[in-house]
Amino acid sequence: MLILGLDIATTTGFAWYEPGSSLSSVKTGLIKAVGDNAEEKAASLAQQLVAMFKAGRPDFVSIEQPMRNVVSFKKTKQTLAGPVDEQTINPNALQLEGLVCAAVAIIAAYRIPWETIPSATWRKHFLGMGRSPGFDRAAWKRAAVDRCRAFKIDVKNADAAEAVGIAIAGEACQRFKMLRERTAA
């Protein structure tokens, strides 16, 4: 059974993983969502997934779950009258949700079983630690790349390395286990 792991963003990392095969056989790559706005980027990602599925279809897709909360923060903006504090959000958080939904829509249209996996869950499964004090985004990405190199998995960047972790963690999902049992029967 073939698992496709997706670390979705404007540059989406992907990894094809076959449980039971050598980890060095994992194939990775990147999809660049292009467009002038979030909707065009979601359409671009969807079209590239369609092309990918025409070339080879996974049995299961595991996707990093986007953050479920949108956090607001204060930002100081310089104006002619001086500094002004304003409340804002990270607009990428909203775009990320749209990209994930576009991917899930395509995956569901192909009737491929899928699961979203929280980052702490796949990191604990792949890296051996789910949340670690002092680890920032860059440290997590380095850890994923280092782990792939230790397994002799060829990755172009951290997005592809994280997709490997997401794909491998997909094997531990209940939905994948049930799928494997059904197909074995």
Give the DSSP per-residue string, 48-101. HHHHHHHH---SEEEEEPPPSS--EEEEEEEETTEEEEEEEE-HHHHHHHHHHH
Residue 169 in tokens: 């963690």
Query: Hey, what CATH topology would domain 3-184 get?
Result: Nucleotidyltransferase; domain 5 (3.30.420)
Residue ranges for the chain with pLDDT beneath 50: none
pLDDT digits (tens, 9 = 90+) for 118-166: 998 999 999 987 666 666 888 889 999 999 999 999 999 999 999 999 9
Phi and psi for 96 in degrees, rounded to 5? Answer: -60, -45
Distance CA 107, CA 171 (A): 17
Q: What is the pTM of this model?
A: 0.86
pLDDT at 139: 86
**How high is the pLDDT of residue 9?**
93
The DSSP 8-state label assigned to residue 129 in this structure reads -
